A and B are shown apart, each in its own frame.
Chain A
Amino acid sequence: MTSHAASIAERWRTLQFHFDTRLHLRLESLIVLFILVIAMSVLSPYFLSVSNILNILLATSTIGILAIGATLILSSNGLDLSVGSVLGFSGVAGAYLVAIVELPWPFAIFGALAAGAFAGSINGFLITRTRIPAFIVTLGMLGIARGFGLILAPNGGAIYGLPPEIVFLGQGRPLGIPAPVIILALAAVCAHYLLAYSRFGRHTLAMGDSEAAARATGINVERQRWILYTLSGLTAGLAGLVFMARVNAGDPTAGLNYELTAITAAIIGGTSLFGGKGSILGTMVGALIMGVLQNGLNLLAVPSFWQQVAIGMVLILAVYIDQLQTSKEKKA
Chain B
Amino acid sequence: MKLMKSLLVASSLLALSATAQAADKPLYGVLMKTLANPFWGAMEQGVKAGADAAGVEYYLQAVESDQAAEPQLNTCNTMLERKPAVMITAAINSNILLPCLKRANEMNIPVVDLDNNLDPEVTKAAGVNIAFHIGSDNMAAGAQGAEFLVSKIGKDAKGPVLVIEGLSGNITGKKRADGFANKLKELAPGLEVVASLPGDWDRGKAANITNDILTKHPDLVAIFAANDGMALGAVETVFAADKGAQVTIIGVDGNSDAVKSIKEGRLTASVAQLPYLVGKQAVESVKKVVEGGKVDSPVFVPTLVLTKDVIEGGKEPMMEFVK
A and B touch in the complex (CB under 8 A): yes
A residues in contact (CB < 8 Å) with B: 39, 42-46, 49, 51-52, 55, 58-59, 62, 155-158, 160, 170-171, 243, 246-249, 251, 253-254, 256, 294-295, 298-301, 303-305, 308
A155 and B174 alpha carbons, distance in the complex (Å): 13
- Residues of chain B within 8 A of A304, CB atoms compared: 61-64, 71, 75
Q: When the two chains form their complex, are residues A45 and B169 in contact, meaning their CB atoms are under 8 A apart?
A: no
**B92-100, B208-216, B223-231, B313-321: which lies at the interface:** B92-100
Q: When the two chains form their complex, are residues A254 and B70 in contact, meaning their CB atoms are under 8 A apart?
A: yes
A151 and B152 alpha carbons, distance in the complex (Å): 39
Q: Is B45 an interface residue (CB 8 A)?
A: no
A301 and B60 alpha carbons, distance in the complex (Å): 7
- Residues of chain B within 8 A of A44, CB atoms compared: 15, 18
**Chain B residue with the shortest CB-CB distance to A258:** B70
CB of A303, distance to nearest CB on chain B (Å): 7
Q: When the two chains form their complex, are residues B15 and A46 in contact, meaning their CB atoms are under 8 A apart?
A: no
Given A247-B69, A247-B96, A303:B18 Cβ within 8 A:
no
Q: Is B74 an interface residue (CB 8 A)?
A: yes
Q: B residues 69-107 with Cβ under 8 Å of A?
A: 69-71, 73-75, 77-79, 81-82, 93, 95-96, 98-99
Q: When the two chains form their complex, are residues A299 and B93 in contact, meaning their CB atoms are under 8 A apart?
A: no
Q: When the two chains form their complex, are residues B73 and A246 in contact, meaning their CB atoms are under 8 A apart?
A: yes
CB of B129, distance to nearest CB on chain A (Å): 17
Q: B residues 155-189 with Cβ under 8 Å of A?
A: 168-169
Q: Is B14 an interface residue (CB 8 A)?
A: yes
B residues in contact (CB < 8 Å) with A: 11-12, 14-15, 18-19, 22, 35, 59-64, 67, 69-71, 73-75, 77-79, 81-82, 93, 95-96, 98-99, 122, 126, 168-169, 198
Q: When the two chains form their complex, are residues A254 and B69 in contact, meaning their CB atoms are under 8 A apart?
A: yes
Given A45-B15, A45-B18, A301-B61, A158:B74 Cβ within 8 A:
no
- Residues of chain A within 8 A of B198, CB atoms compared: 156
A299 and B29 alpha carbons, distance in the complex (Å): 11
**Chain B residue with the shortest CB-CB distance to A294:** B74
Q: When the two chains form their complex, are residues A43 and B64 in contact, meaning their CB atoms are under 8 A apart?
A: no
Q: A247-B98, A301-B59 are in contact. List 10 more A-B contacts (CB 8 A).
A: A51-B81, A52-B78, A171-B99, A246-B73, A247-B69, A247-B99, A254-B69, A295-B78, A298-B78, A298-B79
**Chain B residue with the shortest CB-CB distance to A39:** B11
| Complex partner residue of A248 from B70, B71, B98, CB under 8 angstroms | B98
Given A44-B18, A157-B169, A55:B77 Cβ within 8 A:
yes
A52 and B83 alpha carbons, distance in the complex (Å): 12
Q: When the two chains form their complex, are residues A46 and B35 in contact, meaning their CB atoms are under 8 A apart?
A: no
A300 and B77 alpha carbons, distance in the complex (Å): 14
**Top 5 nearest A-B pairs by Cβ distance?**
A157-B169, A59-B74, A298-B78, A46-B81, A157-B168
A243 and B74 alpha carbons, distance in the complex (Å): 12
Q: When the two chains form their complex, are residues A243 and B15 in contact, meaning their CB atoms are under 8 A apart?
A: no
CB of A292, distance to nearest CB on chain B (Å): 11
- Residues of chain A within 8 A of B79, CB atoms compared: 298
Q: When the two chains form their complex, are residues B99 and A246 in contact, meaning their CB atoms are under 8 A apart?
A: yes
15 interchain pairs, CB-CB under 8 A: A55-B81, A59-B74, A59-B78, A157-B168, A158-B169, A171-B99, A246-B70, A246-B99, A247-B69, A248-B99, A251-B93, A253-B168, A295-B74, A298-B75, A301-B61
A100 and B62 alpha carbons, distance in the complex (Å): 34
| Complex partner residue of A247 from B60, B81, B95, CB under 8 angstroms | B95
**Chain A residue with the shortest CB-CB distance to B174:** A157
Given A42-B11, A155-B168, A298:B69 Cβ within 8 A:
no
A205 and B81 alpha carbons, distance in the complex (Å): 41
- Residues of chain A within 8 A of B14, CB atoms compared: 42-43
- Residues of chain A within 8 A of B15, CB atoms compared: 42-45
- Residues of chain B within 8 A of A62, CB atoms compared: 70
- Residues of chain A within 8 A of B70, CB atoms compared: 62, 243, 246-247, 254
Most buried by A among B70, B71, B79, B98: B70
Q: When the two chains form their complex, are residues A52 and B81 in contact, meaning their CB atoms are under 8 A apart?
A: yes
- Residues of chain B within 8 A of A49, CB atoms compared: 81
A142 and B78 alpha carbons, distance in the complex (Å): 31
Q: When the two chains form their complex, are residues A249 and B95 in contact, meaning their CB atoms are under 8 A apart?
A: yes
A51 and B79 alpha carbons, distance in the complex (Å): 12
CB of B86, distance to nearest CB on chain A (Å): 16
- Residues of chain B within 8 A of A303, CB atoms compared: 35, 61-62
A44 and B11 alpha carbons, distance in the complex (Å): 10
Q: When the two chains form their complex, are residues B18 and A43 in contact, meaning their CB atoms are under 8 A apart?
A: yes
A59 and B15 alpha carbons, distance in the complex (Å): 24
A51 and B82 alpha carbons, distance in the complex (Å): 11
- Residues of chain B within 8 A of A299, CB atoms compared: 78, 81-82
A158 and B122 alpha carbons, distance in the complex (Å): 13
- Residues of chain A within 8 A of B11, CB atoms compared: 39, 42-43
CB of B17, distance to nearest CB on chain A (Å): 10
A256 and B19 alpha carbons, distance in the complex (Å): 37
A161 and B75 alpha carbons, distance in the complex (Å): 25
- Residues of chain B within 8 A of A253, CB atoms compared: 67, 69, 168
- Residues of chain A within 8 A of B12, CB atoms compared: 42
- Residues of chain A within 8 A of B64, CB atoms compared: 304-305, 308
- Residues of chain A within 8 A of B60, CB atoms compared: 301
CB of A38, distance to nearest CB on chain B (Å): 9
A244 and B71 alpha carbons, distance in the complex (Å): 14
Given A158-B95, A171-B99, A46:B62 Cβ within 8 A:
no
- Residues of chain A within 8 A of B59, CB atoms compared: 301
**Chain A residue with the shortest CB-CB distance to B22:** A45
A34 and B196 alpha carbons, distance in the complex (Å): 52
CB of A190, distance to nearest CB on chain B (Å): 24
Most buried by A among B63, B96, B198: B96
A295 and B63 alpha carbons, distance in the complex (Å): 12
Q: When the two chains form their complex, are residues B73 and A247 in contact, meaning their CB atoms are under 8 A apart?
A: yes
A74 and B126 alpha carbons, distance in the complex (Å): 41
- Residues of chain A within 8 A of B73, CB atoms compared: 246-247
A59 and B77 alpha carbons, distance in the complex (Å): 9
